[in-house]
Structure 1
Amino acid sequence: MEIYQLRTFVTVAQQGHLTQAAELLHLSQPAVTAQIKALEEEFGVALFERYPGGVQLTEAGKLILPDAQQILAQARSLLYRAKALQNEPKGKVRIGTIGVPGRLKLGPWLAQLRESYPLLTVQTTHGISVGVLNEVRKKMLDAGFYLGRNPYQNVNTVPLSEIGFCVALPPTMAHLQDADWKTLGSALWLGLSQFTSLADISQELWRSQNIAPKLVGEFDEEATLLELIKSGVGIAILAERTAHRYAADGSIVLWRNGEVATRALLQFIYSSDREKDPMIDMLIKALRTTWQEESACLIQ
Structure 2
Amino acid sequence: MEIYQLRTFVAVAQQGHLTQAAELLHLSQPAVTAQIKALEEELGMSLFERYPGGVQLTEAGKAFLPDAEHILSVSRDMLYRAKSMSAEPRGKIRIGTVGVPARLRIGPWLALLRQRCPLITVQTTHGISGVILNDVRKKILDGGFYFGRNPFQNVNTVPLAELGFCVAMPAALGHEHHESDWKTLGKLPWLGLSQFMSLCGITQELWRTHNIAPKRVGEFDDEGTLVELVKAGLGISLLAERTARRFAADGSIVLWRGGEIAISAPLQFLYSAERQNDPMIAMLLDTLREVWMPE
TM-score by length of 1: 0.69
2:161 corresponds to 1:185: no
Number of equivalenced pairs: 209
Larger radius of gyration: 1
What is the rounded CA distance, in whole Å, between the counterparts of 2:104 and 2:117 in structure 1?
Answer: 20
- C-alpha distance in structure 1 between counterparts of 2:293 and 2:262, whole Å: 27
Tell me the residue number matched to 2:68: none
Secondary structure of 2:159's match?
A: strand
Deviation at 1:87? 1.7
Task: Tell me the alpha carbon deviations over residues 67-118 of structure 1, each in whole angstroms, 9 at most, x when there is no partner.
Answer: xxxxxxxxxxxxxxxxxxx822111000000000011000000001011111
Q: 1:252-274 CA distances to partner (integer Å, 9 max, x unpaired)?
A: 10000000000000000001010
Deviations 1:166-216 (A, max 9, x none): 000000112110000000000000000001011000000000000000000
SS of 1:260 mapped into structure 2:
coil
Write the letter of the residue equivalent to 1:276.
N
2:212 counterpart of 1:214: no
Could you tell me how far 1:292 is from its partner in structure 2?
A: 2.3
Q: What SS class does the counterpart of residue 213 from structure 2 fall into?
A: coil
Distance of 2:152 and 2:88 partners within structure 1: 33
Residue 279 of structure 2 corresponds to: 278
Structure 1 match to 2:257 = 256
Which stretches of structure 1, 4 residues or more, deviate above 3 A after TM superposition?
Answer: none
Q: CA separation in 2, counterparts of 1:213 and 1:276?
A: 46
- Matched to 2:109, the amino acid is W
SS at match of 2:262: strand
Match of 1:145 in 2: 145
Per the alignment, residue 236 of structure 2 pairs with 235
Partner AA of 1:146 in structure 2: Y
Cα RMSD for the two superposed structures: 0.9
1:49-88 to 2 correspondence within 5 Å? 87-88=87-88
The whole-number CA distance in structure 2 between the counterparts of 1:270 and 1:152 is 11
Distance 2:89 2:213 in 1: 51
CA distance in 1, matches of 2:282, 2:252: 43
Inter-partner Cα distance in structure 1 for 2:150 and 2:286: 21
Q: How many angstroms apart in 2 are the aligned matches of 1:109 and 1:245?
A: 24
The code of the aligned residue for 1:239 comes to A
Q: Distance in 2 between matches of 1:212 and 1:221?
A: 22
Corresponding residue number in structure 1 for 2:158: 158
The equivalent of 1:75 in structure 2 is: none
Question: Where do 1:122-133 residues align within 5 Å?
Answer: 122-133=122-133
SS in structure 2 opposite 1:269? Answer: strand
Q: Secondary structure at the match of 1:287?
A: helix
The aligned runs of 1:98-137 (5 Å cut-off) are: 98-137=98-137
Structural mapping, 1:34-49, within 5 Å: none
Structure 2 counterpart of 1:40: none
Corresponding residue for residue 199 of structure 2 = 198
Distance in 2 (CA, whole Å) between partners of 1:273 and 1:114 is 25
Q: Secondary structure at the match of 2:293?
A: helix
Distance 2:115 2:135 in 1: 27
In 2, Cα distance between equivalents of 1:242 and 1:199: 17
Matched position secondary structure for 1:290: helix
Name the SS of the counterpart of 1:202 in structure 2: helix
Amino acid paired to 2:94: R
SS in 2 for 1:256: helix
Task: Give the Cα separation in 2 of the matches to 1:230 and 1:146.
Answer: 26
Q: CA deviation digits over 1:96-143, x for unaligned, max 9?
A: 000000110000000010111111100000000000000000000000
Q: Distance in 2 between matches of 1:196 and 1:255?
A: 22
The separation in 2 between residues aligned to 1:269 and 1:151, in whole angstroms, is 12
Whole-Å Cα distance in 1 between the matches of residues 231 and 288 of structure 2?
35
The letter of the residue matching 2:290 is T
Match of 1:53 in 2: none
Q: Take 1:234 and 1:102, find their aligned partners in 2: how far apart are those partners?
A: 27
Identical positions, percent: 66
**Structure 1 regions of 5+ residues with no counterpart?**
1-85
SS in 1 for 2:265: strand
